[in-house]
A and B are shown apart, each in its own frame.
Chain A
Amino acid sequence: MDLILEGIKKAFWLLFSFDPEVLGITFLSIKVSGSATLISLIIGISVGASVALTRFPGRRIVVSLINTGMALPPVVVGLFVTISLWRNGPLGFLGILYTPLAMIIAQAVIATPIVTGITLAAVQQLPTKLRLQILALGATRFQMLWILIKEAKLSLLAAVMAGFGGVISEVGASIMVGGNIKGYSRVLTTATVMETGRGNFDVAIALSIILLLLAYLINLLLTQIQQRERRR
């Protein structure tokens, strides 16, 4: 019990003393997961909306693959991204393994199917005739897509939350492709794993609290936007 209490005390001290190392880790987490979420939104919304709006042979298989992708184990992603970026791997020439960029790529691979799947479901749920109405208003196909995405914005905010939540909390892929290098590729989750392994529970608890707070604050912000939209 003392261990936990001590840990919490230390955690608050680290938090409110603005410890430079903890701040650095926190900012890197936001940067990596934020960038990965952004990439996943660009790819996921485009692909999800396109699959929702088109009919082609094998569409069901594609939808099943997207849905399966929503539950991609981070370690599996980490493994394949590592192999790809390995010196002799297909993308080895980029020389980005064990860098924050590699972590962004891995996290984007994890988040993209989540955003794609939610977008797909959201756009599919819109009334079929809405598309006809938009086209009848004289829209180009691109304008139609944009209007449909705006119509599905509440669900898309859920996609942002799910995508960001999925990557900010994952550890497997980040540790595998980032290497948890101090001051360079160490993020909240990888640091928590390391500190726990070392028995530095106070630091681990502090990092966990920051992680939870971060996830909470970002979801709070998005939820506020979502609920305000809903009330309008």
Chain B
Amino acid sequence: MNVMLPVFDVRNLLVSRGGSLILNVPSLTVSEGEIFVLIGPNGAGKSTLLQTLSALVKPSRGEVLFRGQRIGDEIPLLQYRRRLAMVLQEPLLFDTTVYNNVASGLKIRGLKRDGIEPIVTKALERFGIAHLRDRSARTLSGGEARRASIARALATNPEVLLLDEPFSALDPIMRETLLEDLEKVLRETRITTIFVTHDRMEAIRLATRLGVMNAGEILQTGSPDEVMNHPVNEFVASLVGVENLLQGRVAKKMDGSFIASVAGQDIEAMGPMETGDLVILCIRPENVTLSDIASGNTAGIRNTFPATVVRITPMGPYQKVQLNCGFPLVAYASNPSFSELSLKKGSEVLASFKAKRVHAIVGASRSVLTGAKSGGSSQQDTVG
């Protein structure tokens, strides 16, 4: 029987610094060909996890198996590192030409000059920087430097690519084009990738699997759809953009659904809850529909509430509308529908959302939202 071993198998991993625990991952596996994206706020331990996986940070306890082999024991450290490539937040290019930068990983591996040339040329072309090959890395723009940095990592043909917020501090246009190119390369090569970011749009776009971290722990892993629409707790919910977190109590249990009482209003949601359960109802703002109160047209959606517009915030392609339905509710209205409804502060509208678009978390507590422990990623014990 041919059992495919996971690329990474993390077991009971603990990383401490100065006596405080900064990473606690009891278990995590990353499979072949996955693009596993880790999101979380600053100091969540994302970079520490990446550096631990690349054996640059020594764990206090636990182990990381690479394709079933214990790193540093069954697989020598140097040999292991040479099977991975890592791109850090800053491009960290060497003070030489772009060509030499992209060639550096290959030179380190002792490849001959004529063996290096075609590989580097291909890597430069792949990231659209072939015309910069003889330029000094010091003269590159931010976007060009990131391209060179990613090309340098991929030139070594790694089995795993670890990316630590490689697009931070780039302007949106540059970020978009670079993201497009990276996405193309990752899909083409099917290289196993772990990508760390705090930008959820980047995460959704690239991820085949998503992980959410906070205070050194992985709170949830799953498909992007699962994490975005079924967060396990309020912290994850707020991190993935669920702006409506309504606390209520299950008033009535039905077949596959339930009615929860929120600030005196009844909201129908799906899920196997029991009467009396305390729940947090998660509703994504893009799932809330606004309609003219006079028309009363809500297509028979049960969760329909008359609401008053409290605040409108323009967000570019859409408007963020904060409502008071007896409970606070945030909706995103596209610019055309916003104009059609002539919304302004104090307007009366109907807000509706489907029961199946309400995700319920049982017994959650708002304290989760403020439960972030301190932790940093820049001061770990590093190993050579």
Extra 8 A-B pairs, beta carbons < 8 Å, given A135-B382, A136-B88: A128-B378, A132-B51, A132-B86, A132-B382, A133-B92, A137-B153, A140-B78, A150-B94
Q: Is B94 a contact of A147 with CB atoms below 8 Å?
A: yes
9-residue interface stretch from B101-109, B177-185, B216-224, B357-365: B101-109
Judged by a CB distance under 8 angstroms, whether B82 is at the interface is yes
Judged by a CB distance under 8 angstroms, whether B213 is at the interface is no
Give how many B residues have a beta carbon under 8 Å from the other chain's beta carbons: 28
Q: Report B-chain residues with C-beta under 8 Å of the C-beta of A232.
A: 95, 136, 138
Q: Is B84 a contact of A136 with CB atoms below 8 Å?
A: yes
Within residues 67 to 96 of chain B, which ones have a CB less than 8 A from any CB in chain A? 78, 81-82, 84-86, 88-90, 92, 94-95
Judged by a CB distance under 8 angstroms, whether A58 is at the interface is no
Alpha-carbon gap, A132 to B53, bound state (A): 13
Q: Report A-chain residues with C-beta under 8 Å of the C-beta of B88.
A: 129, 132-133, 136
Alpha-carbon gap, A97 to B108, bound state (A): 46
Judged by a CB distance under 8 angstroms, whether A210 is at the interface is no
9 pairs across A/B with beta carbons < 8 Å? Answer: A129-B90, A129-B92, A132-B86, A137-B105, A137-B108, A140-B78, A147-B94, A151-B95, A232-B138
Alpha-carbon gap, A231 to B41, bound state (A): 39
Q: Report B-chain residues with C-beta under 8 Å of the C-beta of A151.
A: 94-95
Judged by a CB distance under 8 angstroms, whether B352 is at the interface is no
Q: Report B-chain residues with C-beta under 8 Å of the C-beta of A229.
A: 95
Alpha-carbon gap, A127 to B95, bound state (A): 13
Judged by a CB distance under 8 angstroms, whether B152 is at the interface is yes
Q: Report A-chain residues with C-beta under 8 Å of the C-beta of B162.
A: 136
Among residues of A, the one whose C-beta sits closest to the C-beta of B104 is A137
Q: Report B-chain residues with C-beta under 8 Å of the C-beta of A135.
A: 56, 81, 382, 384
A188 CB to nearest chain B CB (Å): 36
Judged by a CB distance under 8 angstroms, whether B156 is at the interface is yes
Chain A residues packing against B (C-beta within 8 Å): 127-133, 135-141, 143-144, 147, 150-151, 153, 229, 232
Q: Report B-chain residues with C-beta under 8 Å of the C-beta of A143.
A: 108
A171 CB to nearest chain B CB (Å): 38
User: Please, what's the 1-or-0 string for B43-55, where 1 marks a CB less than 8 Å from any CB in chain A?
Assistant: 0000000010010
Among residues of A, the one whose C-beta sits closest to the C-beta of B51 is A132
A92 CB to nearest chain B CB (Å): 42
Q: Report A-chain residues with C-beta under 8 Å of the C-beta of B94.
A: 147, 150-151
Alpha-carbon gap, A121 to B184, bound state (A): 43
Q: Is A136 a contact of B78 with CB atoms below 8 Å?
A: no
B359 CB to nearest chain A CB (Å): 39
Q: Is B382 a contact of A136 with CB atoms below 8 Å?
A: no
Among residues of A, the one whose C-beta sits closest to the C-beta of B92 is A133
Alpha-carbon gap, A137 to B86, bound state (A): 7
Among residues of B, the one whose C-beta sits closest to the C-beta of A151 is B95
Q: Is A137 a contact of B156 with CB atoms below 8 Å?
A: yes
Among residues of B, the one whose C-beta sits closest to the C-beta of A130 is B92
Within residues 126 to 181 of chain B, which ones have a CB less than 8 A from any CB in chain A? 136, 138, 152-153, 156, 162
A151 CB to nearest chain B CB (Å): 6
Alpha-carbon gap, A138 to B78, bound state (A): 6
Q: Is A139 a contact of B108 with CB atoms below 8 Å?
A: yes
In this complex, which of A129, A133, A147 has the most chain B Cβ atoms within 10 angstroms of its Cβ? A133
User: Please, what's the 1-or-0 string for B267-289, where 1 marks a CB less than 8 Å from any CB in chain A?
Assistant: 00000000000000000000000
Alpha-carbon gap, A133 to B149, bound state (A): 10
In the complex, the 7 A-B pairs of residues with the closest C-beta atoms, listed nearest first: A138-B82, A136-B86, A133-B92, A137-B105, A232-B136, A141-B384, A139-B108
B96 CB to nearest chain A CB (Å): 8
Alpha-carbon gap, A229 to B92, bound state (A): 18
Given known A137-B156, A150-B95, contact A144–B82 (CB-CB < 8 A): no
Q: Report B-chain residues with C-beta under 8 Å of the C-beta of A131.
A: 382
Given known A132-B51, A133-B86, contact A138–B108 (CB-CB < 8 A): yes
Q: Is A137 a contact of B152 with CB atoms below 8 Å?
A: yes
A53 CB to nearest chain B CB (Å): 9
Among residues of B, the one whose C-beta sits closest to the C-beta of A143 is B108
Cross-interface CB contact of A136 among B85, B95, B136, cutoff 8 Å? B85
Alpha-carbon gap, A136 to B153, bound state (A): 9
Q: Report A-chain residues with C-beta under 8 Å of the C-beta of B90.
A: 127, 129
Among residues of A, the one whose C-beta sits closest to the C-beta of B152 is A137
Q: Report A-chain residues with C-beta under 8 Å of the C-beta of B92.
A: 127, 129-130, 133
Among residues of B, the one whose C-beta sits closest to the C-beta of A138 is B82
Q: Is B382 a contact of A138 with CB atoms below 8 Å?
A: no
Q: Report B-chain residues with C-beta under 8 Å of the C-beta of A136.
A: 54, 56, 81, 84-86, 88, 162
Alpha-carbon gap, A147 to B93, bound state (A): 11
User: Please, what's the 1-or-0 string for B193-210, where 1 marks a CB less than 8 Å from any CB in chain A?
Assistant: 000000000000000000
B158 CB to nearest chain A CB (Å): 9
Alpha-carbon gap, A182 to B322, bound state (A): 94
Q: Report A-chain residues with C-beta under 8 Å of the C-beta of B51.
A: 132
A21 CB to nearest chain B CB (Å): 45
Alpha-carbon gap, A12 to B350, bound state (A): 100
Q: Report A-chain residues with C-beta under 8 Å of the C-beta of B89.
A: 129
Q: Is B81 a contact of A138 with CB atoms below 8 Å?
A: yes
B103 CB to nearest chain A CB (Å): 11
A4 CB to nearest chain B CB (Å): 47
Among residues of B, the one whose C-beta sits closest to the C-beta of A132 is B56
Among residues of A, the one whose C-beta sits closest to the C-beta of B80 is A138
